[in-house]
Amino acid sequence: MMLEFDDIQHILLTRAPAMTGRYEFLSFRNPAGARAWLAAILERIHSAKAMRESVEKDKRWVTVAFTRNGLRALGVDEASLATFPEEFRQGMVARAEMLGDTGRNHPSNWTDKTSSPDLHAIVILFARDAAERGRCVSEHAKLIGQCEAWKFFPPSIWTRRRRLSTRTTISGIATAFRNRSLKARAMSPCRVPADR
């Protein structure tokens, strides 16, 4: 099987030379706002191929992942959701024990509220430095405001020296899209049904 590097987000196959970043956890008010946000942010998301071709000159990289409820909030129907792997459909909270999130790490103790069913999308804004991260954050905040998407959870910032736990991000992305083309299956606005 051949991998389609144009359709796979960079984070699954390579690492950005970022020194800092910000995790933003989103919840959407309605499918129209969610789809407007997605259509606008698509052009900022690097595929594995695009990143390899531009890694020396770029200063920032964006990665997006959705929860099952996030895809539902976009308007993806239940028949389509049923085609995703069982691990993705169960979600991180239901699989906490299997993933080692027990005791103090149990979802009931997650202070960032990422155990909530209202978590719809995770956006990681990677940057080479804090100034570039600030520009990314400002642009994304403007985009969220224009699209009537809204932030529900507190963001988290990391630096190369003190990296944030990736419990709810990297493993979720990998599980959700292991056998899927993210761009074609979950991120293309033309794949999402219009409002009825």
Angle CA(7)–CA(23)–CA(129) in degrees, nearest 5? 90
Pairwise CA distance, residues 66 & 169, whole Å: 10
N-terminal to C-terminal alpha carbon distance within the chain: 38
Evaluate if residue 172 carries a pLDDT over 80: no
Provide the pLDDT for residue 49. 86
Residue 40 — left, alpha, or beta (φ > 0 → left; ψ -120 to 50 → alpha)?
alpha
List, for residues 69-78, the tens digit of each pLDDT value: 999 999 999 9
Provide the pLDDT for residue 174. 38
More confident residue, 193 or 173: 173
Percent of the chain with pLDDT over 90: 37
Least confident of 10-24, 75-89, 175-189: 175-189
111 to each of 100, 138, 154, 190, how far by Cα in Å? 17, 24, 9, 36
Summarize the confidence of residues 70-90 as an average pLDDT. 93
Angle CA(189)–CA(80)–CA(32) in degrees, nearest 5? 35
Provide the pLDDT for residue 55. 82
Provide the pLDDT for residue 178. 35
Provide the pLDDT for residue 110. 85
Summarize the confidence of residues 106-125 as an average pLDDT. 88
Provide the pLDDT for residue 154. 75
Evaluate if residue 43 carries a pLDDT over 90: no
9: amino acid identity, one letter: Q
